[in-house]
């Protein structure tokens, strides 16, 4: 099964605390539980509804994020994206690997709106 994991990152390729304010996202294409490709894309401008639409258009199946607003989560879920909030501050590759191995532990949503 093809899977695409997206992770909002900061300039050090560490998880950005809130997906809506991230300027770039790392995308990991996964086949049969293995990462087969990785690419970093510049996010669209922060406007209501734009980021969820962009992630859906990029075939994201799973979003690993520290925090996300409820409206964005709802839009993503409606588009078939599973949103995993409360990801720890690690590199995107570490997060994707831990997630694929079933070892990623999530805390609460870092977003307060």
- pLDDT tens, residue by residue, 2-55: 899 999 999 888 999 888 889 999 999 999 999 999 999 999 988 888 999 999
Do the strands 2-9 and 24-31 form a parallel or antiparallel pair, or are they unpaired?
antiparallel
Q: How confident is the model at residue 113 (pLDDT cuts 50, 70, 90)?
A: very low
Q: In the predicted model, is pLDDT for residue 111 greater than 80?
A: no
Q: Which CATH superfamily is domain 2-100 in?
A: Dinitrogenase iron-molybdenum cofactor biosynthesis domain (3.30.420.130)
Instruction: State pTM to two decimals.
Output: 0.92
**H or E, element range at 72:** helix 70-78
With b for 16 or more beta-carbon neighbours within 10 A and e for fewer, the 80-105 pattern comes to ebebbbbbeebebebbbbbbbeeebe
Could you report the per-residue pLDDT of 64-90, keeping only the tens digit for each?
Answer: 999 888 999 999 999 999 999 999 999
Whether the CB-CB separation of 91 and 14 falls below 8 Å is answered with yes
């Amino acid at each position: 099964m093809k899977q695409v994991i997206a992770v909002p990152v900061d300039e050090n390729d560490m998880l950005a605390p809130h997906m809506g304010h991230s300027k770039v996202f790392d995308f990991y294409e996964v086949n049969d539980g293995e990462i087969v490709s990785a690419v970093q894309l510049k996010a669209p401008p922060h406007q209501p509804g734009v980021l969820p639409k962009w992630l859906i258009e990029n075939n994201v199946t799973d979003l690993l994020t520290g925090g996300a607003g409820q409206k964005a989560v709802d839009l993503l879920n409606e588009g078939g994206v599973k949103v995993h909030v409360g990801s720890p501050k690690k590199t995107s590759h570490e997060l994707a690997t831990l997630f694929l191995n079933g070892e990623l532990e999530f805390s609460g949503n870092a977003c307060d709106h």
